[in-house]
Chains A and B, each alone.
Chain A
Amino acid sequence: MAYSEKVLDHYENPRNVGSFDKNDPQVATGMVGAPACGDVMKLQLKIDEEGIIEDAKFKTYGCGSAIASSSLVTEWVKGKSIDEAAEIKNTAIAEELALPPVKIHCSILAEDAIKAAIEDYRTKHQD
């Protein structure tokens, strides 16, 4: 199956690959996996006192579409508030990357990774 140009671009030049210290109180970590294809995705957000995402990093083991979806998401979330980031929908990711129907689950995984990271942040900052 042919990947779209945008998928190839993110796959060949992934943005923001790496990790932050997960114990840093500013850092929120979202871990998600897709049993159907065995993909594992880690998305980390660095969030300032005002709740603005100042930086993001990802590490994904999976197909090109999963890597591209998480790479794109790290670009999109930067500068957004956590509430705005929570609004990012998998359909927007799939549309931007022109993902074929069989790869929609990769965009769902990326959306779930954002949600899981925000959930982690809220758990860390309950008080």
Chain B
Amino acid sequence: MNYFELFGLEAKFSIDLAELSATFQALQKTVHPDRFAHSSSQEQLLAVQKSAEINDAYQTLKQPISRGEYLLTLRGTELPSEQQSFQDVSFLMEQMELREMLADIEHASDVDAAIFSAQETLDIQSQNIWQKTQQLLDKNNEQDNIAASELLRKLKFYHKLQIELERIEDALFDD
């Protein structure tokens, strides 16, 4: 049973996150240790394993990048190895500029405005890539699946930028 089936979902990219979360709670209840307090140790062990599987499935499906990658794996698309470096020069140049933009925030005369504008830039660019990724994943043919896996790699860089922006924001307003 794959993760989508476990959650009673059709294997596609767009899912209802509220429904996912509700199903997660319901599934976890069925394997809660309290229910197995008087069961055999084997049954208790199985419940723990099932609980871990439900948790893995939920974490994978909740995050769009991992959901997209999981969907592609189910479709038999080979994902580029994590060790393989990414060499799209113009994309990396843009990434370098975005990193510089984030590094400049603390020197800005109006820090709030700089954070706001950085967030807006990241949102616009990543949403643009997300839109394309979703279209490709919905088409679901071999070539588009490969193209989608490349875009998911790009989105990981934006995910990292988002974490970095949040870290900068925390550091600036913590003290």
Contact = CB atoms under 8 A, between A and B. Distances in A.
A33 B86 contact: yes
Contacts of A105: 82-83
Contact of B96 (A59, A109, A116): A59
B153 A40 contact: no
Interface stretch (B70-78, B138-146, B154-162): B154-162
A36 interface: yes
Nearest to B102: A61
Contact of B99 (A36, A37, A61, A112): A61
Contacts of A59: 96
A36 B156 contact: yes
B26 interface: no
Interface string A28-53: 00011111111010100000000000
B87 A32 contact: yes
Nearest to B103: A61
Nearest to B81: A36
The number of chain B residues touching the other chain, given as a range, is 20 to 34
The number of chain A residues touching the other chain, given as a range, is 10 to 19
B82 A40 contact: no
B157 A31 contact: no
B70 to A, nearest CB: 16
Contacts of A34: 85-86
A33 to B, nearest CB: 4
A98 interface: no
Contacts of B156: 35-36, 38
A105 B81 CA distance: 11
Nearest to B157: A38
B93 interface: yes
Interface string B95-135: 11001000000000000000000000000000000000000
A32 B160 contact: no
A33 B51 CA distance: 36
A31 B82 contact: no
A108 interface: yes
A36 B157 CA distance: 8
A112 B83 CA distance: 11
Contact of A40 (B80, B96, B159): B96
B161 A109 contact: no
A31 B99 CA distance: 14
A112 B81 CA distance: 15
8 contacts: A31-B87, A31-B93, A33-B85, A35-B157, A36-B156, A38-B163, A61-B99, A105-B82
Interface of B: 80, 82-83, 85-89, 91-93, 95-96, 99, 153-154, 156-157, 159-161, 163
